[in-house]
Amino acid sequence: MPHFTVLYFASAKDAAKAESEKLDWSSGIDAAALTRLLVQLHPELDQVLKTSMFAVNMEYMDQDQSWTVQPGDEVAVIPPVSGG
């Protein structure tokens, strides 16, 4: 069964109580479906995901672009950044 990886940082890590997890891949998981899946797994992520972005293989995902998770992808939940 192919997988993909989800990474959590900052407030997302606190909400999910995990740094990363491997999830079973299936076809057709777009950004909305991924959001639903993650909230199902970790209800506390609901608020965090409203202000977060996804990065896919270390590139910010363009909100408008049509995208689905591919097997082996590394998807990161990126809450609003605060570096500097």
Q: Is 46 one of the binding residues for other proteins (CB under 8 A)? A: no
Residues belonging to the chain? 84
Look-up of token digits 């740094």: 19
Nearest to other proteins of 28, 84 (CB atom): 84
Q: Is 72 one of the binding residues for other proteins (CB under 8 A)? A: no
Among 58, 64, 65, 66, binds other proteins (CB under 8 A): 58
Judge whether 44 and 18 are in contact, CB under 8 Å: no
Calpha distance 43→70 (Å, rounded): 24
Q: Is 18 one of the binding residues for other proteins (CB under 8 A)? A: no
Q: Is 31 one of the binding residues for other proteins (CB under 8 A)? A: no
